């Protein structure tokens, strides 16, 4: 049975995890560019309100997909999806730092290291308790 990408069930190997992450990032950058370009051309604050909702919707969707993909990637290592909380913590904490500091740099490095670990480490060979190997 093939698991749906929109559920936390199943496993996600390295290559699809990396590819989906790149697609989400590229679409986010394209949307951000469009929003900045459109907002600067309009000059009207009322016309910017729909763009704020579109951006917030995209941010919510991208965060949801990132959490689901991280859970599935952890399942590929035969780890519980609850480990997503400590993997996402540095990124979430980084949003609450007002100005660049050594703590901000440490949180960025932790996020970078965990992302590299998720992308580079091979998963469990063969079936595991979360499903078959893709």
Tens of pLDDT, residue by residue over 12-57, are 999 999 999 999 999 988 888 877 777 666 666 556 677 778 888 9
- pLDDT at position 1 is 39
Cβ within 8 Å of residue 110, ≥6 positions away: 90
Which residue, among 61, 40, 66, 62, has the nearest Cα to 51 in the 3D structure?
Answer: 40
Contact 119, 14 (CB under 8 A): yes
Rg over CA atoms, the chain: 18
């Amino acid at each position: 049975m093939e698991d749906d990408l929109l559920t936390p069930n199943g496993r996600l190997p390295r290559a699809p995890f990396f590819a989906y992450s790149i697609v989400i990032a590229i679409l986010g950058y394209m949307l951000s560019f469009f929003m900045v370009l459109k907002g600067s051309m309009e000059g009207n604050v009322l016309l910017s309100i729909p763009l704020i909702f579109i951006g917030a919707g995209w941010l919510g969707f991208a965060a949801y997909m990132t959490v689901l993909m991280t859970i599935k990637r952890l399942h590929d290592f035969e780890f519980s999806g609850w480990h997503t909380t400590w993997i996402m913590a540095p990124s979430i904490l980084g949003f609450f730092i007002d100005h660049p500091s050594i703590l901000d740099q440490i949180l960025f490095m932790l996020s970078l290291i965990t992302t590299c670990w998720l992308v580079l480490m091979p998963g469990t060979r063969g079936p595991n308790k979360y499903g078959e190997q893709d």
